[in-house]
């Protein structure tokens, strides 16, 4: 193939075309990360244990036995099953790693080492260019080292519950699994960093990602505020602890959210409200003044908003350059014309899921494969790794590479 034609083909296959990831992760954080990379052309081989990824059962709703929860984070991957508790399964994994760039797993710390697959002891020596990324709850050492962690558990332990919910209410879990997904996004960044560094050194490395670290890192501005002031942050409902006005307001029709983060934005809001006197009010001169007098300011604003249509007023504020918007439910988000314009709902055959948020101009992401059924590509992947038909049949018949969930 001429070089120019080959280059064009690689571009069309995505920015990460040619990158191979052996993905042993399950549940959400790891699969979300590997789907981000797969959307942009990485060849992700999703390897499930004989029991399958447990989120295949996390429904309803289901499609042909697989939960939407699984389907939503596993597109663009090839799927196989492998019993790593058996030596024969571990030998298969080692064969697959011979031409892999990344090994990605979220087993309990110590599991890979117990299987004779530890990074320092085995993988680094055998595959010096391999990048091994592990996601765990708390890491392998320290006071919480080795303990299991799910999203909500870590939300609670990293302080998220304490700053979420209504003022004076019960500590509340976030309605989005942002610890898992945030860790997935941090992991994607980490993997790309390691790949970039490998271009200089020629060497892989081990990446130690934990839900706890990522959750603490995302506790902004609460931990920062506490470290600076000594005051323990509390839940403030929809109001921002450092900015006012920045919260939900009632109107004649629907609740809307308005964010005015500086004096100019506040003055513009007062102009649109036909309330220029609020700008001169000594209680509202600066942002710190407005934070101190948050409740009377909200009362002043809502007394005027109760006379207007919230959706129309939000559009007016947006046109004036002020962040504002009505509060939508999920159905309204999916149906919104801007969601369609930004291609943030993608459909292919029966598949209808969220779109690709990273918009690259020359090498855009794409939905190339639907989420794999359990063990769907096992034979194909084994053949690609050099196993012959008889060896593949033996692995499948022995249950090392199961064809059905057990």
CA distance linking residue 266 with residue 322, whole number of Å:
9
333 token code pair? 């988000």
Task: Give the DSSP H or E segment for 322.
Answer: none
Judge if the upstream peptide bond of residue 245 is cis by omega within 30 degrees of 0.
yes
Out of 180, 255, 309, 349, the active site residue is 180
List CB contacts of 273: < 8 A, sequence separation 6 or more. 301, 304, 305
List CB contacts of 193: < 8 A, sequence separation 6 or more. none
CA distance linking residue 49 with residue 105, whole number of Å:
12
CA distance linking residue 85 with residue 71, whole number of Å:
26
| DSSP secondary structure code for residue 351 in this structure | E
Q: Phi and psi of 200, rounded to 5°?
A: -85, -45
Burial 342-376 (b: 16+ CB within 10 A, else e): eebebeeeeeebebbeeeeeebbbbbebbbbebbb
Give me the DSSP letters along 166-232.
STTS-----SS-HHHHHHHHHHHHHHHHHHHHHHHH----EEEEEHHHHHHHT-TTHHHHHHHH-PP
Minimal CA–CA distance to 45: which of 53, 55, 34, 56?
Answer: 34
Is 289 labeled as catalytic in the residue annotation?
no
Cite the active site residues: 180
């Amino acid at each position: 193939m001429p070089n120019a034609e080959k280059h064009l083909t690689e571009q069309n296959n995505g920015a990460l075309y040619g990158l191979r990831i052996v993905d042993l992760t399950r549940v959400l954080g790891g699969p979300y990360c590997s789907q981000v990379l797969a959307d942009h052309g990485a060849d992700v081989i999703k390897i499930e244990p004989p029991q399958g990824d447990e989120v295949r059962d996390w429904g309803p709703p289901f499609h042909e036995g697989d939960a939407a929860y699984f389907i939503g984070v596993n597109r663009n991957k090839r799927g196989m099953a492998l019993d790593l508790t058996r030596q024969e399964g571990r030998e298969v994994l080692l064969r697959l790693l011979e031409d892999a760039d990344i090994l990605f797993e979220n087993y309990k710390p110590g599991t890979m080492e117990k299987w004779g697959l530890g990074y320092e002891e085995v993988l680094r020596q055998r595959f010096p260019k391999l990048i091994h990324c592990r996601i765990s709850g708390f890491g392998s050492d320290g006071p919480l080292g080795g303990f299991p962690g799910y999203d909500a558990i870590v939300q609670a332990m990293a302080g998220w519950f304490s700053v979420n919910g209504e003022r004076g209410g019960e500590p509340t879990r976030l309605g989005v699994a942002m610890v898992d997904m945030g860790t997935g996004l941090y992991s994607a960044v980490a993997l790309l960093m390691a790949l970039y560094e490998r271009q200089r050194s020629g060497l892989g490395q081990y990446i130690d990602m934990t839900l706890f670290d990522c959750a603490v890192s995302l506790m902004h501005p609460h931990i920062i505020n506490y470290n600076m002031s000594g005051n323990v942050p509390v839940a403030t409902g929809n109001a921002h602890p450092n900015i006012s006005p920045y919260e939900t307001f009632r109107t004649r029709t629907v609740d809307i959210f308005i964010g005015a983060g500086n004096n100019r934005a506040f003055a513009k809001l007062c102009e649109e409200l036909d309330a220029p006197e609020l700008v001169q009010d000594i209680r509202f001169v600066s942002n710190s003044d407005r934070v101190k007098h948050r409740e009377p300011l909200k009362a002043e604003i809502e007394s005027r908003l109760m006379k207007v249509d919230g959706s129309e007023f939000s559009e007016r504020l947006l046109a004036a350059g002020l962040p504002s918007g009505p509060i939508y439910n999920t159905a309204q988000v999916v149906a919104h014309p801007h969601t369609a314009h930004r291609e943030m709902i993608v459909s292919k055959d029966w598949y209808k899921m969220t779109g690709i948020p990273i918009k690259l101009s020359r090498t855009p992401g794409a939905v190339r494969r639907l989420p794999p059924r359990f063990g769907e590509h096992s034979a194909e992947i084994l053949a690609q790794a050099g196993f012959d038909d008889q060896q593949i049949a033996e692995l499948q018949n022995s249950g090392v590479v199961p064809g059905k969930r057990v």
